[in-house]
Amino acid sequence: MIIEALPPEQQYPALLTDVYNNGAKKQNIQETEDRAVFVRTLRFKSRDGYDFPLTPIRRLPYYRAAGELLWMLRGDTTLAGLHDYGVRWWDNYATPEIQARYNLPEGDLGRVYGAQIRRFNAGSSESIDQLLVVQQSLKEHPEWRRHLITLWNPLDATHVYYAPCLTELKFFSAGNKLSLAVTQRSADVPGGVPFDTFEMGLFLLMMAQATHLQADELVHILEDTHIYNEQLTQVETLMTREIRPLPRVQLQPSTVEFTDIRQFLDLKPEEIFTVENYNPHPTLRIPVSSR
């Protein structure tokens, strides 16, 4: 079964079923077991905000998820920055024991997403603001094949507890349309993937607005695609839920004149986008242990 060929509302439920039924049993870094398959792809075509990849299989706190995205794009790496958006799911990755092990300041997660996006370097004194470089290249040379944000820095990955699960963001421009391919090295299907797909879909909308292009396709490439054994009961519940249509997500009219993605970064999530026709199943707490 080619999951990306299914209707958009069927893809995530099919992914859950695929990994549950076909995943190979593995031992992971947490010394627990999971079921995993290698490389699956989700694909969503933008239709004026309809069929947006915000799964209704369980209720997601989409404004907090958007806050996590803004935190990354602002270059922040602190728990305090996440708490400003009501995000608490990183707290276990910055305990006093972890801070001491990696010699990090209190409440700092180290060179995680925000540092890689806004201050990427490979041990030199020079750093690159990848967000602004990509935005500028899309405006000046949309035909280029260099519209790439690299999130995996091998040097930094050994000095943080939570190394980035998303490793590459590649924009593709053709005509007046903009697409985004997201590569993810480690994909916690019931836990993190719904948040990641939603956040990257929103990122595509924001970058398209800032570069005056039209959002087209989001392609989410999942490499080590897994379900942890402690999540199996919750996955079995999710698999019994009926498939419902995806909602519509649009940028707020007040952002229509934005010409720089940084204009989004000081806004509250609810000032950036609206959600219509989201009819999710009830919230279901999923144990998360991904690293």
Residue 130 and residue 142: Cα distance in Å, rounded? Answer: 16
Any residues with CB less than 8 A from the CB of 126 and at least 6 apart, and which? none
User: Could you tell me if 182 and 219 are in contact, meaning their C-beta atoms sit under 8 angstroms apart?
Assistant: yes
Q: List the catalytic residue out of 165, 202, 222, 235.
A: 165
Residue 85 and residue 70: Cα distance in Å, rounded? Answer: 9
Residue 126 and residue 26: Cα distance in Å, rounded? Answer: 40
Q: Is residue 116 annotated as part of the catalytic site, yes or no?
A: no
Q: Helix 193-210 crosses helix 8-22 at what angle (to 10 degrees)?
A: 150
User: Could you tell me if 59 and 282 are in contact, meaning their C-beta atoms sit under 8 angstroms apart?
Assistant: yes
Residue 118 and residue 76: Cα distance in Å, rounded? Answer: 9
Q: Which residues are catalytic?
A: 165
